[in-house]
Structure 1
C-alpha cells in the first residue's frame, strides 16, 4: 500500500489505462488486449514493489569540515550514502535541509547505487550571520527507471554548524593582572633557593615516594612530601555591552556586530596568553563550557543577541561579585554618565581596566552622542581605565596598542596629535 500511495501521475495514468484496457478486453472478448492490459497494470505494481523494498535499505552519515567557522567562511558538508542490501537502487533524488541563512537547499541526483555501494557528495555552506544552524535531516526520493513510482524517505540525523564572530589577530600588549592559585596555565617553583626552602605537606595516598622530604618527616614525625610546584593562573573578566539602545546600525556592519567581533578577538587573544577569562554581559555572567576557553567563549558569542536592558547594572554587579579579577576588559557601546561612573568604581588597587569604547556616532549620529562619548571617556580615564577608541570602519588590531597606555601616556599621546 505504501508503494501504491507513492505512484507518480505517470504511474497512476498507467494503472488507470490498464484497468480501462482490462475492462474493454472482457467487454469485447479481445485476448490480445487482455495481455496488453495485464502488462500495463503489472508495470507500475512491480515498480512500486521494487521501490518499497528498498525504502529502509540505505544508511546516511554527514560530516562538517569544519564544524565551527567564522562569519563569511565556507564549511564543507560531506554526505555519505551506503546501500546496505544486495540489490541495486534505482534513481535517487537527494535533498538536504538547510536553514535560510545557509542558502538554498542542495539537490543531487544519483543514477544507481550498486549492492553494498557507497557514494559521497560534497557541498559548501556559508553564512553572513552568527549563530548555531541545524543541517539536516536528509530526504531522499527513490524512483524507478520509468518514473512510475516516487517514494520519499527522511533520515533523522542532523548536525549543527556554529558560525562564530570574526576573530582579528591582535598584537601583543602587556596587560598586568592578578595571579591566583588553582589554575593550569603556568607554574611557579616554591623551592627556589635550596632544600631548606621546600614547603612540605603531609603525604597523601598516591603521592610519588620520590618526593618524600625526609628531614621534614623526621621533624614532624609523619611522612611529608615536597610541594615543589603550585599552579597559578592570571584571572580576568570580559564585559560585553549588548544593550540594543547602546548600538547603532543594522546587519553585519552594525556597531553591535563590531562589538561582538571585538570581544571575540580580545577573548581569544587573552586566552592564548594564558589568562583565565569569564564572560559577562549587561544581563549578568554567561556560562562557558569546559570545551577549551577559546571555543567555549566563541560558542557563547556566536549566539549572543541584543538585550532590552537600559543600564549595565547587572553586568557591573556580576563583575563586583566575582572578585579576584586582575584585568577587566569592557567592550562598550553608547555609555551614559551613570554607567560610566559605575564602571569606573570597578578599577581599584592592582586591577587593570581596559575600555574599548565604540564611537557609535560614526555609525549613526544622534544629537548629544559626541558629548556623551567624551564624558564617558573622561570619567573612565580619570579612574585609571585605559581607553581604546573604536570608530566605524577601523580594525581593532590597529587601535589595540592603546590598551597598553596609562592615563598619563594617553593624555600625552593625545596632546601631540595622535589618535587616542
Structure 2
C-alpha cells in the first residue's frame, strides 16, 4: 500500500489537496455538504491506490528484432509480445521500451485491457544512422487505474541487441589480381612425361597415411616418400582498414572514416562472395579471419564497432598484415598519408602479393583555402606516387566519390596517378 501511495499521479495528489482544502473550508464555514465532497475527493485516490497495489498481475514479455542486424540508415522492426499469465484481467497498461539516444525517442504504447491468459503484440520501428551495437530494453510496464489517479511501474530485465553495420554497396564484377593464390603441398604442379611413377612427392611426416607411400621414390632416395595430397586451389584476400584518427576528417555519418569503413565492408563482402578466403585487418591487434561459415556476419559485426584510434603505428600494422600472409590480394583503404607513411605501407608489396590501395584525400571533406588546398593536393599526389613506385595500384578517393564507380579501376591499366608516375620516371631517366 505504501508503494501504491507513492505511485499517486499528479491528478491523484491534486485530488488529495482538493480534499484537504474542502475539509478545511467545511470546518471554517460549517458546511456539512462541503465536508462530504472532501471525503469523496480523498477516498477516490485512496481506492485507486488500493486497487492498483492489490493487483497481482503475472505478466510475461518477449521481444524480437526483425532483423537484428541492419545497415546504417535502415530500419528494424521491434515486436513486443505481452502475455497475462494470471486469472485476473489487467487494467490499463502503459508500455515503454528503453532505447539509446541514437535509435530515437522511447516508444510508448497503451494497452487498455488484457483478459485472463490473454496475450497481445505491439510493434514499433527504430532507425539508426550511426554504426554500433545498441541495447534495446528493458521494457517497463506502468499499471494504472481507470481514472489515472495512481500508477505503478514494473520492469522486465531482459534486453536485446541491435547491430547497426556499415552500408554494404553492391560492386560490379571485375577481374582483379591475386585470384589464383593456391594452397596445398605444392603451389606449382606439373605432370611429368614419365607418367605416374614421377608423381609429385615429399618426405614422410609423422601421421601420414602409409597408403600414400610412393615406393619407387623411396627406393631411389633412400628415404620414406609419400605422394603429395592434391588440394583445390583457392584465392585469398586481405582487406586493410586505416584507423588512424589523424588520417580522417569530418564528423558523424558523413565523415571520411565512415566512407572508409563502408568501403572496407563492401570490398570484403564482395570478394568473399566471389570465393576469396577473407581476412580483415583494422589495426596492429585487430586481425579477423572471415573465411569460415558465418564469417561474413563476424566481419560486419566487427566493422560495426570499429573506431579511429589516436595512436596507430603504420609500421606495426604492416608487420601485422605480413604475418600469416600466404600470398593473394591485399586491398588497403587508406586515409591521408604523408610520403614517409606511404613508404612504410609500400613495404607490403615486397612480399610479392598484389596490392591495391584506395587512397582517401580526407582534406576534401573540409573546406581549405589557398594555399592550404594546393599543399594538400601535392602531399596526396606524393604519397600516391610513392605507392605506385612500389608496385601498388592506387585509386584516389575524394569527397563525393562512390565506391561502385571506383571499383572497376582495379582491373584497368595505368591511369591517373599511374600515368604521372610513368611520366616522372621518363623525365628522370632523360635527365640521367
Structure-1-length-normalised TM-score: 0.79
Post-superposition shift, 1:11? 3.7
| CA deviation profile, 1:384-419 (whole Å, cap 9, x unmatched) | 111122221111111111112355898469999xxx
Question: For 1:403 and 1:413, how far apart are their aligned partners in 2?
Answer: 17
Question: For 2:336 and 2:23, how far apart are their aligned partners in 1?
Answer: 81
The residue matched to 2:307 in structure 1 has which SS?
A: coil
Post-superposition shift, 1:173? 2.5
Equivalent position of 1:383 in the other structure? 390
Question: For 2:168 and 2:17, how far apart are their aligned partners in 1?
Answer: 63
Question: For 2:90 and 2:170, how far apart are their aligned partners in 1?
Answer: 50
Equivalent position of 1:180 in the other structure? 183
Question: For 2:339 and 2:243, how far apart are their aligned partners in 1?
Answer: 17
Q: Which of 319, 325, 328 is matched with 1:326 structurally?
A: 328
Equivalent position of 2:224 in the other structure? none
The answer (yes or no) to whether the contact 1:334–1:369 under 8 Å persists in 2 is no
Task: State how 1:14-413 maps to structure 2 within 5 Å.
Answer: 43-54=44-55, 56-174=57-175, 175-177=177-179, 178-181=181-184, 230=231, 233-287=234-288, 292-309=294-311, 311-348=313-350, 350-364=352-366, 365=368, 366-367=372-373, 368-407=375-414, 411=418
- The farther-off stretch of 173-182 and 234-243 is 173-182
Question: For 2:63 and 2:279, how far apart are their aligned partners in 1?
Answer: 34
Post-superposition shift, 1:57? 1.3
Post-superposition shift, 1:146? 2.1
Gaps spanning 5+ residues in structure 2: where?
Answer: 219-226, 424-432
The answer (yes or no) to whether the contact 1:245–1:310 under 8 Å persists in 2 is no
Post-superposition shift, 1:249? 2.1
Question: For 1:342 and 1:386, how far apart are their aligned partners in 2?
Answer: 16
Question: For 2:184 and 2:97, how far apart are their aligned partners in 1?
Answer: 50
Higher strand share: 1
| CA deviation profile, 1:135-180 (whole Å, cap 9, x unmatched) | 1111111101122321011111111111111111111222314223
Question: For 2:361 and 2:11, how far apart are their aligned partners in 1?
Answer: 65
Question: For 1:54 and 1:199, how far apart are their aligned partners in 2?
Answer: 81
Post-superposition shift, 1:240? 0.7
Post-superposition shift, 1:216? 8.6
Question: For 1:56 and 1:199, how far apart are their aligned partners in 2?
Answer: 75
Question: For 2:197 and 2:121, how far apart are their aligned partners in 1?
Answer: 64
| CA deviation profile, 1:67-87 (whole Å, cap 9, x unmatched) | 111111111111111111111
The answer (yes or no) to whether the contact 1:181–1:230 under 8 Å persists in 2 is yes
Structure-2-length-normalised TM-score: 0.77
How many residues end up aligned between the 2 structures? 396
The answer (yes or no) to whether the contact 1:93–1:140 under 8 Å persists in 2 is yes
Question: For 1:109 and 1:42, how far apart are their aligned partners in 2?
Answer: 26
Question: For 1:235 and 1:171, how far apart are their aligned partners in 2?
Answer: 19
Question: For 1:146 and 1:408, how far apart are their aligned partners in 2?
Answer: 76
The answer (yes or no) to whether the contact 2:69–2:164 under 8 Å persists in 1 is yes
Equivalent position of 1:223 in the other structure? none
Question: For 2:264 and 2:415, how far apart are their aligned partners in 1?
Answer: 26
| CA deviation profile, 1:293-327 (whole Å, cap 9, x unmatched) | 22111111111111102641221121122331421
Provide the aligned C-alpha RMSD in A.
4.2
